[in-house]
Amino acid sequence: MDLLSKPFPWLKRPVVTLSPLGLPTSLLIRDVYLYIGVFITLFGWIFTGSFLLSNALGIGLCVLMVSVINVPNLKVCTILLTLLFFYDIFWVFFSAKIFGSNVMVDAATQQAGNPAKYLLTEVLHVPAAAVPSHLEMPMKLVVPWNLATWSVDSSSGEFLMLGLGDIGLPGIMLAHLLSTECATKVKVTTPCLANDFRGIFRVFRKSSYVFQCWVGYIVGLVSTLLVGMVFHAPQPALLFLVPCMLIPLLLKAHSNGDLQRLWEGNPHEFSDTV
């Protein structure tokens, strides 16, 4: 909405001014459109079970995670991702020996009931056949194996799945590097970075660390997919993502003499760079 408000300034016009807790707050036109879009997506997902809408909600949760969670330095990122690296390996490869089944796979593939089914069938008298009985929870992104035969109903066919943690957690480190480079080398101002894609492209062009981690994430994700296809078994994505992102970053930062700066962090306010 910030991007759309630049060519369409009327989106910033206030619809009504509220005073919750005595503090005046204006409800803008863009806020109304945003709320309508959120409600359409949410109720469309509940009433149809579409995996496309579930993915949209999942992407929104990832954006929220990356936007809200700020880390102070690379040390915290390294410790967090290393611990999650072993956490992912344990629950995928060793949980079956302890609990009798693969806990991570069961949690990812188990279908949840539709919370709106009773409301639609018993209260609104919608035919039960028209209401999906199960919903794919927005805790993962799903993509059909066969793009030629997929349907909006996620209960049909087989799907590739990627947990939101495998997106949001590496994204937190990328966001940290992005804000660090903006505050030091690249000199991209916060409004430009937040409201103009050219600011982000300038960072990717001038910052080798951000671009390198981004490429490492792609390599790790492709490696996860290929290994899963070869062994016909689910793979912990962080097993590949963490080494592909962290190891080249640490080695390059050490060779450039920047490791200490990135490891301890910079004395700038991270909340101003989100």
Quickly list H helices, 49-145: 51-68, 74-89, 95-99, 103-109, 117-118
Q: Is residue 195 part of a domain?
A: yes
Question: What is residue 168's predicted lDDT score, i.e. its pLDDT?
Answer: 92
Domain that holds residue 93: 68-111+138-273
Question: What is residue 147's predicted lDDT score, i.e. its pLDDT?
Answer: 54
Question: What is residue 108's predicted lDDT score, i.e. its pLDDT?
Answer: 76
Q: Is residue 51 part of a domain?
A: no
Q: Is residue 152 part of a domain?
A: yes
Return left, alpha or beta for 68; rule: phi > 0 is left, psi -120 to 50 is alpha, else beta: alpha
Question: What is residue 51's predicted lDDT score, i.e. its pLDDT?
Answer: 85
Residues 170 and 81: beta-carbon distance below 8 Å: yes
**Catalytic residue of the set 166, 196, 258, 272:** 166
Q: Is residue 176 part of a domain?
A: yes
Q: Is residue 262 part of a domain?
A: yes
Q: Is residue 229 part of a domain?
A: yes
Question: What is residue 203's predicted lDDT score, i.e. its pLDDT?
Answer: 65
Q: Is residue 15 part of a domain?
A: no
For residue 166, indicate whether it is catalytic.
yes
pTM: 0.77
**Catalytic residue of the set 88, 106, 196, 272:** 88
For residue 88, indicate whether it is catalytic.
yes
- Long-range pairs for 23-30: beta carbons < 8 A, 24 or more residues apart: 30/1, 30/4, 30/5
152, amino acid identity: V
Q: How many structural domains is the chain composed of?
A: 1
pLDDT beneath 70, residues of the chain: 18-24, 146-157, 183-207, 266-274
Q: Is residue 253 part of a domain?
A: yes
Sign (positive/negative) of CA torsion 235, 238, 243, 245?
positive
